[in-house]
Structure 1
Amino acid sequence: MSNLDRKPAPTTCGGEAATGPVRDLLTGRQVQLGESTVVRRLLPNLGRRMVGAWCFVDHYGPDDIADEPGMQVPPHPHMGLQTVSWLHQGEVLHRDSLGSLQTVRPYELALMTSGRAIAHSEESPHTHARYLHGAQLWVALPDTHRHTDPMFEHHPDLPVVTAPGLRATVILGTLDTATSPGTTHTPIVGADLALTEGAELRLPLVRDFEYAVLAMTGRIDVDGVPVEPGSMLYLGCGRPDLPVRAHTDGSVLLLGGEPFEERIVMWWNFIGRTGEDITRARTDWTTGARFGTVHGYAGDRLPAPDLPAMPLKARGRER
């Protein structure tokens, strides 16, 4: 998925990582995505740029698209990151410059590793379900893997962890004893926690990871804090477990990982280490170099926005 902001600001990624447990409730800003989809952008957020290597989080829906085209995101480039598409309702048709063509359905992992360069489009199929609801997430690639070959993975069957009142689907990384088949390049975890009304549990965590929880549906308290759908609670580090209580049936996404220590620049759909990395990527997309061609999308590709007047400088977090 693309950042469709026509005047994207340079993003200082990182910021100070909490050295212990915190409870910072983040609300998203509304961003128009494509022709008819409005998303709530939770990361990057004022005061919180990353959670582990997770560096971009959009939540959208549930939207009634019965009489709408639904998601329509034209071909656009990515560099230096992985995209994670996660649906609760609806379908998204993925095309990319590798030649991939895949319809992604609820609770299936679509994982695209851009590496040095890739382009893709995302759209609701012409005949689609009434509702569209999901999240789009990016993972920053470490320097050792950011020039890797691009690839696309589709995993329709993911491991599940169960407990009374809980069904947890492991999207990336490892939760409890279950490990996702998705490729990772940093210590990270992502899991969809489906909870039944009245469930109370303590979810095991890794002390060295920092965590956040994105609320998808229902009325759920996380460490005693009510988290409304479309908002995210940043939890910091140093937790052996996490208390969760469901007042209704509902679900949240658990996102976590080791704090990402590298200094990076994130602008538009690119992650680099210097302003020159970003300038070169924009030029390559504009001239048709490096990123390849997405075939089959009925429309033009996205033009790159203008670079900001200010220099693009890498920033990092201090732990």
Structure 2
Amino acid sequence: MSTLTEVTELTGRVRERLAELHPGEPLGDLETLPGGHSGLTYSITAGPASYVVKAVPAGQRPVGRNDVLRQARVLRALVGSVPVPGVVAVDEHQPAWFAMEFVTGEAVEPVLDDHRLEPRLCRTRMLALARVLRGLHRTEAAGLGAPEPLDPAAELDRWSRTMRAVPAELRSGADELLARLAATAPTGLPPALIHGDFRLGNVLCVGERPAAVIDWEIWGLGDPRTDLGWFLLFTDHRNFPQLGREVPDLPTEDELLAAYLDGRPDPPDFDWFRALARTKMAAIMGHNLRRHREGKHHDPDQERLPPTIAAMMRAARDILG
């Protein structure tokens, strides 16, 4: 938690920069944005404009999800190829922060969120987002200061560590699944710029149009099939027992894949990445449930996860054959 003094100091720094963009116009105060934002995320007004400010928490190192300058770099690089909020100010002095345009829209994951959207609208948005993902993977990533790209084996190793930290009673069959994935890991494609959690729940939409892809905390360079396999996982509520809601007429995995490929050949070894996506989801859910049960993050709703964790691993094994 930030202290009042820390917020006041940050407010002064932000207002000073925004005053240069809005001379003579009234400036608001930083207000914490609700929701599942990592790090420190605020909103602020400057005249008629509204902005979102992301900052490094005072006293913490600017690494991982707290590396806001890294997020600002990728947002600036994506302008023109992917709909993203425009970055208007960056302050590299620690604790660092940046300000971006406040984009109005709704971020709804059709099969997981409680909503009243028309099924046809959900379908149209998801197909449009497949084309956005294609644009992302074609974006030039040179000069962004990204870490070394992760090939499929390294990506699997990353999530294997997460899975092995999940209590044994929640990951029955996981060791066999991880061994099968490791034994069949394909050769990586040329690395692309990847989001890391690409799905409709991380996109602000206005009507049928994806207005801004958000939550770039874990972007990196990697095999584009990792993003694609994850995105396709959210087409079917049956992937999420006791969690998912049926939405008629959502695109199938094949339809989304075709929209992404736009006439190009099917990606090789793609079933391996579909299985990896399910393994990753099971690992994340198991990790979150463990934190709840250990009292590190109280959220009783996590107790609904075991059926989906089991289903994800079962489906991954089935996909592998």
TM over 0.5: no
Larger radius of gyration: 2
Return the TM-score normalized by structure 2: 0.25
Q: TM-score, normalised by structure 1?
A: 0.26
- Whichever structure has more helix as a proportion of its residues is 2
